[in-house]
Amino acid sequence: MLFTVGPNRLSGGRLFKKHFDQSIGVHEVAIATPSWPSAFNGLRIGHVSDFHLGDLMPIDRALNAVSMLAAQEPDIVICTGDVVDLHVDGSFALLEALANVHAPLGTMLVLGNHDELDCANTLSEMATRAGVQLLRDASCQINHNGNALNVAGIDWAKTTKQCKNKIENVCDQDTHVLLSHNPKAFTTASELGIPLTLSGHTHGGQLAMPKRKGANLAVAHKYTAGTYERGDSRLFVTVGVGAWFPLRVNCPAEVALITATTSE
């Protein structure tokens, strides 16, 4: 009521209309690190996050974003949480669409803080039924042409310390990719030498300085938007598909296509 429905009513519906008129773009990103497994050199990762399905993200808009991602022909699809905003009802169609992108290495999901507001277990059941690989403080191995890519994912954790505890329980020296809704996980991930961490959560503040995506309103976070490096470890924070208030300035919603490569 405070950030969405109320202001929209006061504006006679113009606030939502202006928000929905803002397009969702495709953000192509190249990430290179010497610790990336050479067998997966050039892996194309379709990364989405923070749909916030609800008042500010009707299902048709969400499905259109998935179609945009599918058109990029990723090898694997990753969603780093906040599929829904406040309620899990109606989210199966979105999860099913993500699972049906036809990425040869599948679709994976970790949960965000908003996914836990209604019923995380119900959303988890929907994801599994749709055919999405759900990682809830768990890891898995993707086998391709006789080679293995080790992926770990953690449930929502609010603080760096909470992230650390979860990561240390599910990751080891062979982990290649960490999925965490909260980018604060990168502190521990980089200490462990994990090559790539994918996150969302911040929305890039939704308001940023012109041509400076990292200068934004997400002041509570060290890692807010784009690519970060610590040693041989890399982090990519997507600004997300959706929104939690109906305004984006110099921070357009996005689906990301990451090409991960081995650097010398």
Give the three-class secondary structure for 120: helix
| pLDDT of 195 over the 90 cut | yes
**Angle, vertex CA 60, rays to CA 49 and CA 24, nearest 5:** 50
Q: What is the token pair recorded at 161?
A: 């310390």
Lowest mean pLDDT among 6-20, 82-96, 121-135: 6-20
Closest CA to 161 of 193, 184, 189: 184
Q: How confident is the model at residue 245 (pLDDT cuts 50, 70, 90)?
A: confident
| pLDDT of 61 over the 90 cut | yes
According to the model, what pLDDT value does residue 2 have?
65
| pLDDT of 3 over the 80 cut | no
89 Cβ neighbours under 8 A, 6+ residues apart? none
**Given phi > 0 = left and psi -120 to 50 = alpha, else beta, which region is 196?**
beta
Torsion angle, CA of 62/199/96/243, rounded to 10 degrees?
Answer: -20
| pLDDT of 69 over the 80 cut | yes
Summarised one tens digit per residue, pLDDT across range 22-57 is 999 999 999 999 999 999 999 999 999 999 999 899
Architecture of domain 24-262 in this structure: 4-Layer Sandwich (3.60)
| pLDDT of 11 over the 70 cut | no
Name which residue leads in pLDDT, 211 or 13. 211
According to the model, what pLDDT value does residue 18 have?
85
According to the model, what pLDDT value does residue 19 have?
86
According to the model, what pLDDT value does residue 17 have?
85
**What is the C-alpha to C-alpha distance for residues 166 and 174, in angstroms, rounded to an integer?**
16
Mean pLDDT of the chain: 95
Task: Provide the residue ranges of all domains of the chain, joining segments of one domain with +.
Answer: 24-262
According to the model, what pLDDT value does residue 10 have?
66
Mean pLDDT of 182-207: 97
Sequence letter at residue 211: K
Name which residue leads in pLDDT, 211 or 37. 37
Q: What percent of the chain has pLDDT over 70?
A: 97
| pLDDT of 83 over the 80 cut | yes
Q: Are 44 and 73 in contact (CB under 8 A)?
A: yes
| pLDDT of 207 over the 70 cut | yes
Mean pLDDT of 144-170: 97
Mean pLDDT of 156-161: 98
